[in-house]
Amino acid sequence: MIGFLGASYLWVKAAHVTFIIFWIAGLFIVPRYYVHHHETTPGSAEDRAWTERADRARTVILLPALVLSWLLGLALALHIGAFTQGWFHAKLLLVILLSAYHGWVVSFGKKLAAGERPMQGRSLRMINEVPALFTILIVVMVIVRPF
């Protein structure tokens, strides 16, 4: 299959999978940080330390991984003509929803940094499972291609 990526297709695919792994890892770790951060006293040294850890993870891992995953994924989709295939439409919807979750993670971190605790710890722990569910569904769409 030689599209506009030519011989670099497999390298682009490998990079895409790598950055997806980084993105999902970040979406697992940052909400886990929030669970610990949530239990601190707003304004304390521990509160500031958790804010700094989460900020670093968001800027060093999450944002670059999100951007590169999208760019490489779109290049791959164009290369193989995926925009006409049903499995890809489902995958794209799931990735858009996962990106929205990413946005929620970022906004929630800003609330924690401001001293707000808008969610119970138990709910925060449960919402930490969202990336796992989306990852399973996305992998099924790409590998099984059920439609």
What is residue 2's predicted lDDT score, i.e. its pLDDT? 62
Annotated binding site for heme: 16, 91
Torsion of CA 132, 66, 48, 37, to 10 degrees: -10
- Condensed to tens digits (0 to 9), the pLDDT of residues 108-133 reads 999 999 999 999 989 999 999 999 99
What is residue 3's predicted lDDT score, i.e. its pLDDT? 85
Annotated binding site: 16, 91
| CA distances for 105 relative to 4, 68, 117, angstroms | 35, 18, 14
Residue 17's identity, in one-letter code, is V
| CA distances for 123 relative to 30, 132, 135, angstroms | 15, 16, 20
